[in-house]
Amino acid sequence: MSNKTINLTDEVYDYMLSISLKETDSLRQCREETAKHIMANMQIAPEQGQFFQLLVKMLNVKNAIEIGVFTGYSSLAVAAALPDDGKLIACDVSTEYTDLAKPFWKQAGVAGKIDLRIAPAIETLKQLASDGLQGKFDFAFVDAHKPEYINYYELLLPLIRTGGVIAIDNVLWNGEVANPENHNEETVAIRVFNEHIYKDERITMSMLPMADGITLILKN
Ligand code: CA
């Protein structure tokens, strides 16, 4: 036994999913369809979708923002956990990817809760601020262009209520953040972002080694 996070072998991972993952047909079909896509590794892990559903319920989330939709798995998971009058503002630049998401949102009966904004997320976040929505959001998930992470975060934080949560994806970047030889743009951006969050006194944070690393940020 160890107090260090367990190393997930394939066998342990399969066991974990077999005894904990509760995936609806729509989510499973969305995941299986996405798996055929050349960029399939951009989709979140299924246990991560389920974890977000738990967070949405724990936080009584009514209004959420997602930055980076891809083929809609995480949007579907979050929207399904929202109350009937909940709303998810889903930001992405690609209609090619988000068009793949729409049939699954419809099938799951959550399309009406998802407000898809096709534009650079920075613009959408600025629009939400100029709409006077500061402090109106309970939850946000960030999983888009890594070099923009600090900009997304700084624009998101004022929109989140006190006690609301921002989840950030890929903070361990397949372990490359800990490889000093790796200086590529995205790796460096994630390292800089992680340092930025670590020093931020406005928030309470925890970095989870789930999937590709998720930082949870609670607005104080
Ligand atoms: Ca991701």
CA of 183 to the centre of ligand 1 (A): 19
CA of 14 to the centre of ligand 1 (A): 20
What are the structural domain ranges in the chain? 10-219
pLDDT on residue 203: 98
Distance (Å, rounded) from C-alpha 199 to C-alpha 195?
6
Burial class of 179 by CB neighbour count within 10 A (0 to 12, 13 to 18, 19+): exposed
Q: Which residues surround ligand 1, an ion (CB under 5 A)?
A: 143, 169-170
pLDDT on residue 2: 78
CA of 1 to the centre of ligand 1 (A): 30
CA of 144 to the centre of ligand 1 (A): 7
pLDDT on residue 104: 96
pLDDT on residue 42: 84
Per-residue pLDDT of the chain (220 residues; tens, 9 = 90+): 778 998 899 999 999 999 999 999 999 999 999 999 888 888 899 999 999 999 999 999 999 999 999 999 999 999 999 999 999 999 999 999 999 999 999 999 999 999 999 999 999 999 999 999 999 999 999 999 999 999 999 999 999 999 999 999 999 999 999 999 999 999 999 999 999 999 999 999 999 999 999 999 999 9
CA of 10 to the centre of ligand 1 (A): 20
pLDDT on residue 209: 95
Q: Which CATH architecture has domain 10-219?
A: 3-Layer(aba) Sandwich (3.40)
CA of 72 to the centre of ligand 1 (A): 12
Per-state percent for the chain, helix, strand, coil, to nearest 5: 50, 20, 30
Distance (Å, rounded) from C-alpha 156 to C-alpha 65?
9
